[in-house]
């Protein structure tokens, strides 16, 4: 509702400004496509994203075997597909310690009312400033997100990796009756697809700090 109140306020200010300008100026606005694009963006409701958590990368295990051992000790289960993603040579680990802020968004939040391709979903997510997760966000999230509620299933928005049959897959983390899982969601050789209510995790970049005054 707050978003729509902002839109209403913007439109009220716009009407007030139009009353104060000349007829020729208003005509110029109407024919100026750049101004129309700005007004369209300003009047579009902002996509709501859910802040999930902040996790650290570049800490703990440095290879697949280390991840497997640590998750085993933490009673985290791993399905066959997730193990295949971990075994892919393109599965890389963040080497330098850093923090990433993770958010959750659904295809429905991005305007999709039916099953949609991952490429189209990420294209929309990128437009609202979100970025793909590094590959090791999946296992690191499952090890660090110890308050994951029962029944939650979070798909990691990452560059898909392939299995031995070249099908594309991504991680997802889940908490069910059997405990905590690192699992996988698979598509075909070209793309994956998701339903409108699927929850995808992306990185929300931090704004650069302003330089200190000299």
Query: Which residues touch 116 (CB under 8 Å, ≥6 apart)?
Result: 107, 193, 194, 196
The pLDDT of residue 15 is: 54
What is the model's pTM? 0.76
74 by DSSP, 3-state: which? coil
Q: What confidence tier does 47 reach under pLDDT thresholds 50, 70, 90?
A: low
The residue among 112 and 17 whose pLDDT is bigger is: 112
Enter the tokens of residue 204.
Answer: 């929300």
Closest residue by Cα to residue 106 from 172, 55, 154, 159 = 154
Question: Which of 8-12, 31-35, 169-173, 207-211 has maximum average pLDDT?
Answer: 169-173
Longest pairwise C-alpha distance within the chain = 73
Using the CB atoms, write b or e for 48-87: b if 16+ within 10 Å.
Answer: ebeebbebebeebbeebeebbeebeeeebbbeebbebbbe
Q: Read off the pLDDT of residues 19-32 as tens digits, 9 standing for 90 and up.
A: 555 656 555 555 55
Question: Which pLDDT score is estimated for 133?
Answer: 97
- The answer to whether residue 42 scores a pLDDT higher than 50 is no
Query: What are the residues whose beta carbons fall under 8 Å from the beta carbon of 159, sequence distance 6 or more?
Result: 90, 132, 135
Angstrom distance (rounded) from CA 173 to CA 198: 12
For the cut 60, the answer to whether the pLDDT of residue 40 exceeds it is no
Q: Where are the domains of the chain?
A: 2-42, 50-203
pLDDT digits (tens, 9 = 90+) for 109-159: 999 999 999 999 999 999 999 999 999 999 999 999 989 999 999 999 999
């Amino acid at each position: 509702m707050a978003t729509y109140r902002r839109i209403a306020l913007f439109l009220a200010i716009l009407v007030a400004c139009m009353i104060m300008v000349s007829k020729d100026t208003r005509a110029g606005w109407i024919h100026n496509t750049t101004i129309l694009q700005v007004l369209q963006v300003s009047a579009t409701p902002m996509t709501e994203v859910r802040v999930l958590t902040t996790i650290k990368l570049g800490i703990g295990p440095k290879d697949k075997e280390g991840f497997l051992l640590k998750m085993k000790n933490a009673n985290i289960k791993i399905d066959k597909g997730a193990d295949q993603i971990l075994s892919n040579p393109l599965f890389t680990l963040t080497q330098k310690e850093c923090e990433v802020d993770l958010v959750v968004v659904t295809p429905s939040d991005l305007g999709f009312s039916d099953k949609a391709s991952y490429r189209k979903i990420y294209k929309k997510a990128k437009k609202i400033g979100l970025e793909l997760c590094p590959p090791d966000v999946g296992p690191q999230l499952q090890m660090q997100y110890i308050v994951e509620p029962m029944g939650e299933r979070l798909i990691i928005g990452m560059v898909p990796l392939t299995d031995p049959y070249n099908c594309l897959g991504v991680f997802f983390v889940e908490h069910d009756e059997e405990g905590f899982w690192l699992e996988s969601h698979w598509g075909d050789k070209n793309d994956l697809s998701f339903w409108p209510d699927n929850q995808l995790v992306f990185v929300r970049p931090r704004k650069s700090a302003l330089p200190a005054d000299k």
